[in-house]
Amino acid sequence: MTAALWALQILSIPALSPFFIGLTRRIKARLQGRAGATSFQPYRDLWKLLHKDEVVSEDASWLFLAAPYLIFATTLVIGASVPLVSTALVNSYSGDFLVVVYLVALGTFLLALAGIDTGGAFGGFGSSREMLVAALTEGGLILSLVTLALVSGSTNLAAMSQTVGSLPFSAYLPVGLAFISFSIAMLAETCRYPFDNPSTHLELTMIHEAMIIEYSGKRLALMEWGAANKYLIFITLGANLFFPRGIAGSLEAAPLALALVMLLVKAGVFCAAIAVIESSIAKLRIFRLPDLLFTSFVISAIAVGLVR
């Protein structure tokens, strides 16, 4: 039974992540007065890319060829580490929040190396921008999770979720501040507005797209799929760590089914909020991004200071 649940959790992230990317695009299109594609369009795009031939630069090394598989694998490991539908399904190996943060950083590092591997101009500036954003994001992201670790007395994500879910409303101030900090870091890590435009190919604005511009076919599909997995992972962390109401505390069928429904609802709310943000503000200039990321760090530091 437990093995089946672990297999289901590992497969759930890659199975659901394209849908939530499509849902965000659909809501964003509606807010902008467009019809937009269906929420299942990313599945069709991935299927198309998986059946296309690849064009690989003659200057590409083994790292360029292996990076899509390694990045996708890191998202699977992270997906198995986060509390998805139950806090009783504890991962004692990679469930520590620092392990998750470092795995996210590892995926970003591999992506940046792949971007500069072929020596292209676009990949080079995309990787340098990504490293700038990633370096400034980690402080706020880690401290926002440190707040929950101090509140719960544990660094395990499942224990953190279980403790936050039982907190009285009066003790939510540091958790609320940590969530604001986490939200800013989430937008930066998932390449959303105001840090990056996930649908642009303009050389002056793209970050993520610049790093994968040399990819095609199956490897491009894995890169896009890995980015979708990362998007859903951060949404899941935000939903189940800061708003864990509804997550199951056991491995019984009925609570698990209810927890899955609650996760889908909360993830849909997160997607709607991100779509509203992307439809309401413009992308910031690259040299304005450190100000916002420093704000995330300061807010999370205040949250840590408020924990008693």
**pLDDT on residue 202:** 66
Q: Write the DSSP symbol of residue 61.
A: -
Alpha carbon distances (Å) from 78 to 95, 98, 107, 300: 8, 11, 10, 23
CA separation for the pair 13, 262 (Å, rounded): 15
- pLDDT for residue 262: 93
Using the predicted structure, report yes or no on whether residue 1 has a pLDDT greater than 70.
no
What is the pLDDT confidence band of residue 201, given thresholds at 50, 70 and 90? low
Whole-prediction pTM: 0.94
In whole angstroms, what is the distance from residue 183 CA to residue 269 CA?
13
pLDDT digits (tens, 9 = 90+) for 113-166: 999 998 888 888 888 888 999 999 999 999 999 999 999 988 999 889 988 888
What mean pLDDT comes out for the span 201-230? 87
- The total of structural domains in the chain comes to 1
What three-state secondary structure class fits 156? strand
Asked whether the beta carbons of 197 and 206 are under 8 A apart, the reply is yes
Q: What is the mean pLDDT of the chain?
A: 89
- Residue 308 is predicted with a pLDDT of 67
**What range defines the domain where residue 18 resides?**
2-306
Residue 304: how many other CB atoms lie within 10 Å: 18
Percent of the chain with pLDDT over 70: 98
Q: How confident is the model at residue 186 (pLDDT cuts 50, 70, 90)?
A: very high
Question: End-to-end CA distance of the chain, in Å?
Answer: 39
pLDDT confidence bin for 204, thresholds 50/70/90: low
In this predicted structure, the answer to whether residue 274 has a pLDDT above a threshold of 90 is yes
Mean pLDDT for 246-265 is 87
Residue 291, Cβ density class (10 Å: 0-12 exposed, 13-18 middle, ≥19 buried): exposed
Please tell me the predicted confidence (pLDDT) of residue 227. 94
Q: What is the mean pLDDT of residues 167-187?
A: 90
What percent of the chain has a predicted confidence (pLDDT) above 90?
Answer: 56
Q: In 80-170, where does DSSP find H-type helix?
A: 97-117, 121-152, 157-165
Distance between CA atoms of residues 61 and 18, nearest Å? 29
